[in-house]
Amino acid sequence: MPRAERRPGSAGPGKARIARHKAREFAVQGLYEWLVSGSDTWDIIRHLRESDEYEAADAAFVERLVSGAIADADELSAWMQPFLDRPVNALSPVERAILLLAGFELRTAPEAEFGAPYRVVINEAVELAKLFGGTDGHKYVNGVVDKLAGAVRADERSVPGSRPAQ
């Protein structure tokens, strides 16, 4: 089986996965800041860059996630509302930030430069909810993101073996 070609200076698959996970952590923090303070997108990104741990994240991915989710926030909120049990504005800022991030990622095709398979998006959202959210927030996030994935990635989910048995 041929090995995937990598660009010179790019991280290996394990390092890239860790860098993208770190990027999602920073993106949730940035979206949280935006939801709570209403700060400008690029001020938020500058603030995130000041963290000592930022160099471990995929910086381009952080910027794409934060700027994209903020730019599309109204559309994403309206799109996810039917899958929620309360108004989107009644969600905790942490849950809302995670759902905006996951919704933005799900609406990006997996083949795109920054796209990810729906299962990765769900798993990452759950892990972020465990890290930043309330005690059982990850269960709520899992249920909502799974429904969002069904709405926007139905073709991907219908591929045999692409969804775990329930």
pLDDT in tens, 102-135: 999 999 877 777 889 999 999 999 999 999 999 9
Write down the pLDDT at residue 119. 94
Write down the pLDDT at residue 115. 85
To the nearest 10°, the Cα dihedral for 165, 65, 51, 135? -40
pTM of the predicted protein model: 0.86
- The ranges of the chain with pLDDT < 50 are 1-11, 163-166
For residues 134 and 151, give the distance between their C-alpha atoms in angstroms, rounded to a whole number.
26
Write down the pLDDT at residue 114. 80
Both tokens assigned to 71: 């730019």
Which residue type occupies 13?
P
Percent of the chain with pLDDT strictly greater than 70: 87
Give me the residue label for tokens 């709520």: 140
Please give the C-alpha separations between residue 97 and each of 4, 12, 104, in angstroms, as whole numbers. 33, 29, 11
Core vs surface per residue 139-162: b (16+ CB within 10 A) or e: ebbeebbbebbeebbeebeeeeee
